[in-house]
Structure 1
Amino acid sequence: MKNTVKSVGGGIQRYSAAPLPFMGQKRRFVNQFREALREFSSATTFVDLFGGSGLLSHITARERPDARVIYNDFDDYHLRIENVERTNAILAEIREILAGIPRMAKVPADAKAQIIALFEEHEQSGFVDYITISSSILFSGNYATNICEIKKQMLYNTTKQTPYVCDGYLEGLEIIKADYRELFSQYKDIPGVVFLVDPPYLSTEAGVYKCYWRLRDYLDVLHVIDGHPYIYFTSNKSNIVELIDWMQSNSIGGNPFAGANRREVSVILNHTSKYTDIMLYRA
């Protein structure tokens, strides 16, 4: 299913990081990414398949105002941008509740109850950006996506002291929401297209895709970059480059696991971390 959200005009604002919290944004790659974009001087369309926070799309639109920039906002980041003033107002109320509590200190039970009540009140009247707000009441680097997750956790006074500013961040982008495979199929035969490919980390929960991002999912993305201009992001944790190099230089005569029996055992490390041990055998 594809849904066109909106298209907005050009602007001059430049961001080197996403204005609202988002895990996995490529702010450390900003300068290198700008340099890489210069290698595609003849491109007419850039398609950000895994748009995330929109930072890659934002930079592309600023560096290449002559080209179309398609931002696949599967995470509905634009809704968080549109509601930033509401978010700032909620954070202002939280700062009042936490007045007198030292920075980084645990939030007492009575103050936590007031914050939960505040969320319940605002949920009745509209959108609550729990990801942004939770970054101000959870320990550094932690986020929540709903009120239930916040109720379960210890709160800390990490509140941002200044309002968030998002002016012009999404200007110049054509924002859509689609499965990346459908979006790729739509644009793969268009002359001058370049695909921006920043898939979820291997072996992690894939955010709004609501599934575990497996090796097979990661390898499926390679169809996108095979034979098409692209800028692709990965990490050494995935070992995807080494895997492809090995497959290119070795042959094992088919799938060695074909016909094997598979057994699995779940291993729980703590209340937030678990993994699965797998045994394969073939007589």
Structure 2
Amino acid sequence: MKKFTQAPLPFQGQKRRFLKQFKEALNSFKTDAIYVDLFGGSGLLAHTVKQQYPNARVIWNDYDNYAARLEAIPQTNILLAGLRPIVHGLSKNERLPLSLRPNVLGVVKQHEDLYGFVDYVSLSASLLFSGNYATNFEEFEKETFYNCVRTADFDATGYLEGVERVQGDYRKLYNQHQQADVVFLVDPPYLSTDTKTYKSESYWKLRDYLDVLNVLDDSNYFYFTSNKSQIVELCEWIETRTHVGNPFAGATINTTGGSVNYNSGYTDIMLYKNKESPD
């Protein structure tokens, strides 16, 4: 079975830069535990756990319906095949001349009319500036185009084989799996992140972010955040100034190098805690 080091389709916030540290940290957790990916996203964390621990039960909360994009890969590959001749001869990341815009828009509109669906996130990764995404044709046609079109087709063969897919509110899923042999994978949208490419209509606000911390109480977990949120410092401050406990007390912390997209830069953070670990 192929081991993926990144999600087979573009996804905002996938944890590909953390995979090495994530896999190393998994070594301190049970090989046959139940791993519940509460904010499943692209499924990359769930895939990685199942690859490393084939006997583990891995549950992926596909709240954003990433599975629909995976199922549409054959159609997305057809769309990319129609775009490649248009950008032929242009350098990688070169801005498309205005004369080519009607050609691009025509291919995309024709494809949407024919198949009734366009994976605009994947399309954005092929034609928009890095980190910039459109979610429908109206947004897409307003953007400036760049030649980032893939030269190879997408392929997700075997990607989530053996992983259980569910779709629902993370709180209900958490309540269903409060038992000793469960490890929660907690990767919510980053604080104040534009969540338009997720199944959400607004920014992920502070209250939403703080509510997630409830699932860390007395749990085995991996939790992902960034230095932009300052959530770790906030919890430390609350612990020292109030009688409220710190959910990160005793957790191990790792960071990656700075991530940069078209309008921001930040450092990713992974915290994990295994209650049964001798440390």
TM-score (norm 1): 0.80
Matched, 1:215 2:206: yes
RMSD of equivalent CA atoms: 1.9
Shift of 1:186: 1.6
Equivalent position of 1:237 in the other structure: 228
Equivalent position of 2:142 in the other structure: 152
**Which segments of structure 1 move beyond 3 Å, counting only runs of 4 or more?**
100-103
Shift of 1:204: 1.6
Assess if the C-alpha contact under 8 Å between 1:42 and 1:192 holds in 2: no
Question: Which residue among 76, 80, 84 is the counterpart of 2:69?
Answer: 80
Shift of 1:182: 1.4
> Identity percentage over the alignment?
48
Shift of 1:42: 6.0
Shift of 1:140: 2.5
Question: Which residue among 36, 39, 61 is the counterpart of 1:47?
Answer: 36
Question: Which residue among 169, 184, 189 is the counterpart of 1:200?
Answer: 189
Assess if the C-alpha contact under 8 Å between 1:61 and 1:172 holds in 2: yes
Give the Cα–Cα distance (whole angstroms) in 2 for the partners of residues 88 and 96 of structure 1: 14
Give the Cα–Cα distance (whole angstroms) in 1 for the partners of residues 203 and 154 of structure 2: 32
Give the Cα–Cα distance (whole angstroms) in 1 for the partners of residues 101 and 225 of structure 2: 39
Name the stretch that deviates more: 121-130 or 68-77.
Answer: 121-130
Q: After superposition, where does 1:28-177 map in structure 2 within 5 Å?
A: 28-41=17-30, 43-126=32-115, 127-177=117-167
Residue ranges of structure 1 left out of the alignment (5+ in a row): 1-11, 253-271, 274-283
Number of equivalences: 242
Alignment-mate amino acid for residue 246 of structure 1: W
Assess if the C-alpha contact under 8 Å between 1:43 and 1:193 holds in 2: no
Say which SS state the counterpart of residue 3 (structure 2) adopts: coil
Say which SS state the counterpart of residue 211 (structure 1) adopts: coil
Per-residue CA deviations over 1:36-68 (Å, capped at 9, x if unaligned) read: 222221652110001111100000111111111
Give the Cα–Cα distance (whole angstroms) in 1 for the partners of residues 132 and 194 of structure 2: 15
Which entry has the higher C-alpha Rg, 1 or 2?
1
Per-residue CA deviations over 1:180-233 (Å, capped at 9, x if unaligned) read: 111111212x34111100111011223312222111111101110101111111
Assess if the C-alpha contact under 8 Å between 2:37 and 2:60 holds in 1: yes
Give the Cα–Cα distance (whole angstroms) in 2 for the partners of residues 13 and 104 of structure 1: 29
